[in-house]
Amino acid sequence: MVLATQCILQPKPKKMRITLNGKLHKGVTSKDIIMYIISEISASGATGYFVEYCGSAISSLSMEGRMTICNMSIEMGARGGLIAPDETTFEYLKKLPSIPEIKDIKSSISEWKTLRSDSGAVFDKELNFDAVSIKPMITYGTNPGMGMTIDGSIPMSDVNGNEASESFIKSLDYMGFKPGMKLLGHPVDFVFIGSCTNGRIEDFRAFAELIRGRKKAENITALVVPGSKKVEEQMIAEGLIEVYKNAGFEVRQPGCSSCLAMNEDKIPQGKYAVSTSNRNFEGRQGPGSRTLLASPLTAAAAAITGKITDPREFVNE
């Protein structure tokens, strides 16, 4: 469509605004924010909507932190996720190679400042969350909405309270889990850090910080995959590749890699992978693979201990 017409045809979507105020705890990241929201409203909770995120917890995020949230909005069915541009945005843009080509950056910025919702804007749905109540998250099932806090227990029933839901039972069976089970301490086999959701330089810096001076657990294979060639170059320049290699991690070619396992970076049948990607469907990372979605910090913690671990144990040191 785009090649033929220069357009994307969109029916006017419904509008959802999600406001998140308060301060995130240490060890809790923007990935945990979006995973928390999806677990609250389900994988189809925003179907038919474009979602705007706002509030102090959102505006205090870096651009890359914001991108993680917007990127994963589709996993709750949203057609798109938006965050209004502000000074953080403009500072980020000024560093991009294409920006110097703009003749009058000041007037562009003035124009960009108008790209926000009016103060009296009416949304079809409004949700409010408190950042303080968000903890590191992990998924236990086979869609991104089946998530819980890292120290939580798998629910006894599906989102509708249906214990006997065929889909719920099938999902847990696939994962080798039971209702009511805790996941903290569960051994894992693979850790994957990468994907469009968490494959940016800040994600790799955070991961490197946690594992610096440590070695990966013997029972796991850890794949580190830059989101792009540019990120890979930055990782090399910042000495991060050395940190990973010293810890025993494999650094793979930039790309989608294990997120959807179209290349050799597959998770084998029945194996558990803590993954910083965005989809934990059956067979997503390879036929029979068992994906546990998490933030880069949670993935890093699992890589060191070899089991599902609360990253706050490392972060508060």
Partner 1 sequence: MSKVKFDILESACVPLPFENVDTDQIIPARFLSATSRQGFGDNLFRDWRYLKTGEKNKEFVLNNPVYHGKVLVAGKNFGSGSSREHAVWAIFDYGFRAVVSSFFADIFMNNALNNGLLPIVIPDDLLKKLHGLIQQNPETKVRIDLEKQIFTILSSGESVNFAINPYKKECMLKGLDDIDFLLSMKNEITGYEKNQSLAK
CB-nearer residue toward partner 1: 5 or 316: 5
The DSSP output letter for 182 is B
Q: Which two tokens stand for residue 172?
A: 């847990």
- Smallest gap, in angstroms, from Cβ of residue 5 to partner 1? 4
Q: Which residue has the tokens 């889990």?
A: 177
- Smallest gap, in angstroms, from Cβ of residue 51 to partner 1? 12
- Smallest gap, in angstroms, from Cβ of residue 115 to partner 1? 10
CB-nearer residue toward partner 1: 128 or 157: 157
- What's the rounded Cα separation, in Å, for the pair 72 and 70? 6
CB-nearer residue toward partner 1: 142 or 305: 142
Q: Where does this chain bind partner 1 (CB under 8 A)?
A: 1, 4-7, 9, 11, 43-44, 47-48, 74-75, 77, 79, 102-103, 108, 111, 142-143, 165-167, 170, 260-262, 269, 279, 281-284, 287-288
Q: Which DSSP string corresponds to 139-151?
A: E-SSSTT-EEETT
- Smallest gap, in angstroms, from Cβ of residue 9 to partner 1? 5
- Smallest gap, in angstroms, from Cβ of residue 77 to partner 1? 6
CB-nearer residue toward partner 1: 75 or 232: 75
CB-nearer residue toward partner 1: 80 or 248: 80
Burial class of 13 by CB neighbour count within 10 A (0 to 12, 13 to 18, 19+)? middle
CA distances from 1 to 6, 9, 48, 79 (A): 7, 8, 21, 17
- What's the rounded Cα separation, in Å, for the pair 177 and 95? 46
Q: Under DSSP, is residue 171 helix (H, G, I), strand (E, B) or coil?
A: helix
**CA 91 to the chain's CA centroid:** 23
- What's the rounded Cα separation, in Å, for the pair 31 and 25? 13
- Smallest gap, in angstroms, from Cβ of residue 25 to partner 1? 30
